[in-house]
Amino acid sequence: MTTSSVKGFRDILPEEAAGRRAVLATASEMLVAYSYREVELPLLEHGELFARTIGESTDIVEKEMYAFEDRDGSLLALRPEGTASLVRAYIEAGLSRSLPVARLYYQGPMFRRERPQKGRFRQFTQIGAELIGRNDAGADAESISLAADICSAAGVEGFRIEINSLGDQQCRPAYREALVAFGREHIAELCDDCRSRIERNPLRLLDCKVEGCRTLMGAAPMMGDQLCDPCRAHHDSVLEILDASGIEVVARPSMVRGLDYYCRTAFELIADGLGAQDAIGGGGRYDGLVAKLGGPDLAGVGFALGVERMLMAAGSQATDAGPEMLVAPLCAEAAATAASLARRLRQAGRRVEIGSAERRLKAQMKSADKTGVAFVVIIGEQELAGGSATVRDMAAGQDLPACFPLMATGAEAIAAMEGGGRDEA
Ligand code: AMP
């Protein structure tokens, strides 16, 4: 009997690992270009952190969080998202004093016990960026621009940016009441989940995937029609700045996002052709979150991108580069010399594999051919005695006329192989 992986928890095999690394590296470069600095956050937090921030009556906290009692009785949770952790870290480290305006990013695995399906896993990877301490529309536009630029740079093609405003403490309570009234009026037409959401979290009615609810909610009041003047002006400025930067966005009046802490701007990046799970990222403004976690009253805006979905949308074909050289010992006595030479070549920047002295030269050559190795450095009894290796140029199909000393530095050996040998030919 073998033990399988846990449902929804994937192994990232070598075919996928190179593409992921490339996406993460490209994202980091873009984040640095926007002046964001990385924070590495723990995977485990106190469970209450998420209940306080994401909201008690959200799907994430109610149904999806991996929360458990530690041996000392404290309640811990595997982080389901990064913003709450990042804000906690920001406050805990006292960064609000040194960095009243902070641009920070994180990347790493998140955990949600959702129903696994294409593009949805229980462990997935996010890249998230947060801009804390700015409440102006320019900050929202920067966040959206950054998310879009990361996706483009990572090769994600055919995505659109959807945007909405969720209002603030001034205008949202009245809107919430309007939604509750609408829900009560149409309670018979709602699914069981939505019925229980009416009083607890009415905004989520707009999120429901059940066809009947979706149709009904098409006729519900929309936040966008009920924004107070400052929220309206803020939203218009965000749109204006994005337009001036050449970033196209489309309005989605029904977008509410799953978390309680958003206010004003909410946005999502949606990729074509991904099927049901087509959101590659989302974010928004969360003024009040820093204060809620015991920090100063600072505004904030940010987003998280899903790396697995970005890779799916980018159709990444990246693979790890194979070895450039094979050092082939032909007898047991050559193994030590081979290991030492291979190490020198690697220190000089080459990708080098060592063959096994137990395999015949022919077999070693065959595998070198398969892996696309350019040079095979052969060390047999004769080479050991003469103090220099025979080098086979695989493209030319013949040995180089010049051999190089076994004790050469990596750089000398490479020069002999790539230049010297052929020049003298
Ligand atoms: P959220 O934190 O829910 O706003 O999610 C931000 C992004 O993370 C989404 O747009 C997805 O790309 C990704 N994501 C969220 N949940 C999952 C999941 N269960 N599996 C894979 N990716 C996910």
Closest C-alpha to 41, from 113, 108, 111, 124: 108
For residues 328-337, average pLDDT: 95
Report residue 159 CA to chain centroid gap: 16
Cβ–ligand 1 distance for 266 under 6 Å, the answer no
Residue 336: pLDDT band with limits 50, 70, 90: very high
CB atoms within 10 A of CB 120: 17
Closest approach atom of ligand 1 to CA 309: 12
Closest C-alpha to ligand 1, atom 17: 120
Indicate whether residue 280 lines ligand 1 (CB < 6 A).
yes
Please tell me the distance between residue 219's alpha carbon and the centre of ligand 1 in angstroms.
28
Give me ligand 1 centre to Cα 205, in Å. 19
Percent of the chain clearing pLDDT 90 (strictly above): 76
Q: Where are the domains of the chain?
A: 14-171+227-314, 325-418
Q: What is the mean pLDDT of residues 323-346?
A: 95
**Residue 79 pLDDT more than 60?**
yes
Range in 78-87, 114-123, 358-367 the model is least confident about? 358-367
Q: What is the pLDDT of residue 332?
A: 95
**Which pLDDT score is estimated for 58?**
79
CA 270, CA 248: separation in Å to the nearest integer?
A: 13
Atom 15, ligand 1: which residue's CA is nearest? Answer: 306
Looking at the CA of residue 258, tell me the nearest atom of ligand 1.
Answer: 3
pLDDT in tens, 151-192: 999 999 889 999 999 999 899 999 999 999 999 999 999 999
Q: State residue 390's pLDDT score.
A: 92
Digit-coded pLDDT (tens) for 237-261: 999 999 999 999 999 998 988 677 7
pLDDT, position 200: 85
Q: How far apart are CA 181 and CA 161, in angstroms?
A: 31
Q: How confident is the model at residue 425 (pLDDT cuts 50, 70, 90)?
A: very low
Dihedral (CA of 92, 98, 100, 106) sign: negative
Give the chain's length: 425
Which of the four pLDDT bands, split at 50, 70 and 90, describes residue 273? confident
The class level of CATH for 14-171+227-314 reads: alpha beta
The residue with greater pLDDT, 379 or 201, is 379
Q: Read off φ and ψ for residue 318, nearest 5 degrees.
A: -60, 140
Least confident piece of the model among 34-38, 66-70, 168-172: 168-172
* Cβ of residue 353 lying under 6 Å from some atom of ligand 1: no
Judge whether 172 and 223 are in contact, CB under 8 Å: yes
- Tell whether ligand 1 has an atom less than 6 A from the beta carbon of residue 111: no
Computed over every residue of the chain, the mean pLDDT equals: 92
| Domain 325-418: CATH superfamily, name plus number | Anticodon-binding domain (3.40.50.800)
- Both tokens of 292, joined, read 């809620």
CA proximity to 378, closest of 389, 387, 362: 389
Residue 386 vs residues 345, 376, 382: alpha-carbon distances, Å:
20, 18, 6
pLDDT band at 423 (very low <50, low <70, confident <90, very high): very low
Asked if the model's pLDDT at residue 328 lies above 90, the reply is yes
Question: What's the pLDDT at 424?
Answer: 42
